[in-house]
A and B are shown apart, each in its own frame.
Chain A
Amino acid sequence: MTPPQPPQPSPSPVPDAPDAPDAPDAPTAPVLSVRGLTVRFLMPGGRRVAAVTDVRFDVRPGECLALIGESGCGKSVLTSALLGLLPGNARTTGSALLGDLDLLTADERTLARTVRGRRIGLVPQSPAAHLTPVRTVRSHLSETVAALTGVRGRTARRAAAEAAAARAAFPAGHLDRHPHELSGGLAQRAATALALVGDAPLLLADEPTTGLDRDLVDHTVDALRRHVDAGPDGTGRALLMITHDLAAAARVADRVAVMYAGRVVELADAAAFFGAPGPRHPYSRGLLQALPDRAFTPIPGLPPELTDLPAGCAFAARCARATDRCATPPGPADPVACHHPHPAAPEATRA
């Protein structure tokens, strides 16, 4: 078992001031910088669930990072950790810097008053369940506008709510409907509109396309992409999209992080990952080969139990390339946490 890593010195924490527009190619400070993030759940009987282990990634303004992996791999726990929404039996180590604020140590008051909705906009999974069932979309939007912005007065608030709906392409004619009267696509747009009200520099989308048909998936991720490109002050928002829909990730992401058994096992440029030379970690490769437009063959076996992870590589038991070396943990995930990765093509050197 790897001891939790001390927080790595991150690129100097800069308050989220807009970067100088005259240097578009200069590396901008990440909006979110996660280092050594580890979450353990303490269970009755002394069991410990290793839900997230030593996760490290950055998301920059104008960038979409897709976090992909199968259900139960720890993606949603990671989201909850970033929003400070983990249950009481969770123990978190590492750091997640949003500007100069560490989300993992911030107190509830700070998170509630300055972070959720204001600095992180959440596009939730199953938006129909996320909305209050007894209130209309207009009522949701007005309340959010009143809580998050300085808009005062009934008329101004009404106008601001309608503008917020328009930004997410939610049709004005449906504003007075209740959540159960909306189709999946419209509920998704309503939830996106709510997430955008606070002009947060970071959008967190947790499985935003689950249950939508292909056209709506495309529409939803294209809309998210537009919001990434058109940030609040011209610098672009950052988007962390958690999904198991590989086609949606391929459509929208700049970079891809593949998660398996609580660890990020590969961090790659999206074009190289979905195109040539393809993923380098055998798990990522297996995941892509399971797609119906590729080999359509499943990865054999099931993911390991998070209460009982092997000492070495967690994927070794399902991996065709595994050898004795895989009994020891592979190195960090940047770019690939594997003893026997597929080779990177020479032209795929990382920028």
Chain B
Amino acid sequence: MLDLRSVTAGYTRGAPVLRDVSLTVAPGEAVGLLGPSGCGKSTLARVAALLHRPDAGTVTVDGEPVRRWRHRAPRDLRTAFGVVFQQARQAADPRLRLADLIAEPLRATGRRAEVARRVPELAAAVGLTGDLPARRPHEVSDGQLQRACLARALVLRPRWLVCDEMTAMLDASTTAALVAVVEEYRAATGAGLLAVGHDRVLLERWCDRTVDWAPGWTAAGAADGTRNQSPQDPTHSDRVIDSVVSGS
């Protein structure tokens, strides 16, 4: 069970972007969270994936209350989550070949021995064929890079998947392909899913149930046409890399 209770979170002290949000995902369940641009749903996804410490409220993962966040969270809790972000370009280290990108979480958690077996297996599962795993991010399309980012999220066999607008930049066929990969993984492992997005048609087709973002969840002042800062701020990609490379 992934349980968020009365979560309030934001990036500036005293100015939260979301307030008093509660959400539960049962084991093996796929929940789609629907909300408009800038409502704070990405921030909630980051809280759920232990990547952002909430100002108030509790997060409980499989019965264990979360007390520490990001790199301070215990490794077995951190590695229970696989996260896929909207902007694959910002979520990938440009220096790494795609195969190394996928292998990085294994290396960072001292499971190098599994690289030789897991990486080719996952590259094939997400459709990265031929010499694609040997290329660097600038040599592949957005869709191909997102396939690698999905493989990276699955490589540690997480019990929970958090997909924040995973397919918003992608064409219809790549979207359907990536969703099929996630669903195959969930069928094989029983992992739960929190998929965040604004595409109702997609999330209703994909998930067991969808939850609409309640207007009251967006903190006052955060939705007047002013952008919430989270996805664009300059340290974002560092944090992403920091979260994916969860060892160190």
Contact = CB atoms under 8 A, between A and B. Distances in A.
A71 B173 contact: no
A117 interface: no
Nearest to A291: B172
Interface string A148-189: 000000000000000000000001001001001111111000
B141 A184 contact: no
Contacts of A291: 172, 176, 201
B225 A211 contact: no
Given A244-B170, A244-B172, A183 B226 contact: yes
Contacts of B225: 171, 174, 182-183, 185-186
B173 A214 contact: no
A223 to B, nearest CB: 16
A180 B232 contact: yes
Contact of B173 (A70, A185, A293): A70
9 contacts: A71-B142, A71-B170, A72-B143, A128-B232, A211-B169, A287-B171, A291-B201, A292-B199, A296-B205
Contacts of B226: 177, 181-183
A71 B199 contact: no
B197 to A, nearest CB: 9
Contacts of A297: 176, 180
Interface in A205-253: 210-216, 244, 246
A70 B173 CA distance: 8
A16 to B, nearest CB: 34
A292 B202 contact: yes
B176 A298 contact: yes
A320 to B, nearest CB: 14
A287 B173 contact: yes
A14 interface: no
Interface in B162-206: 165, 168-177, 179-180, 198-202, 204-206
B204 to A, nearest CB: 8
A72 B144 CA distance: 10
A183 B199 CA distance: 18
Contacts of B36: 213, 215-216
B229 to A, nearest CB: 8
B24 interface: no
Nearest to B35: A213
A70 B232 contact: no
Interface in B128-149: 129, 132, 141-144
B205 A212 contact: no
B141 A287 contact: no
Contacts of A181: 226-227
Contacts of B232: 128, 180
Contact of A290 (B37, B142, B169, B172): B172
Given A184-B227, A297-B176, A302-B129, 13 more contacts: A70-B170, A70-B174, A71-B169, A183-B225, A211-B86, A215-B36, A216-B36, A244-B171, A290-B171, A290-B173, A292-B175, A292-B205, A298-B180
A69 interface: yes
Contact of A213 (B37, B86, B177, B227): B37
Interface residues of B, number: 37
A298 B173 contact: yes
Contacts of B247: none
Contacts of A3: none
Q: Give the residue among B173, B200, B204 with the most A Cβ atoms within 10 A.
A: B173
Given A183-B227, A216-B37, A301-B127, A288 B141 contact: no
B212 to A, nearest CB: 12
A298 B177 contact: yes
A319 interface: no
A251 to B, nearest CB: 13
Q: Which 3 A-B pairs have the closest CB atoms?
A: A213-B198, A72-B141, A298-B177
B40 interface: no
A212 B37 contact: yes
B38 interface: yes
A127 B226 CA distance: 15
A330 interface: no
A299 interface: yes
Contacts of B165: 211
A290 B227 contact: no
A208 to B, nearest CB: 14
A335 interface: no
B101 to A, nearest CB: 17
Nearest to A303: B141
Contacts of B179: 296
Contacts of A244: 170-172
Nearest to A305: B130
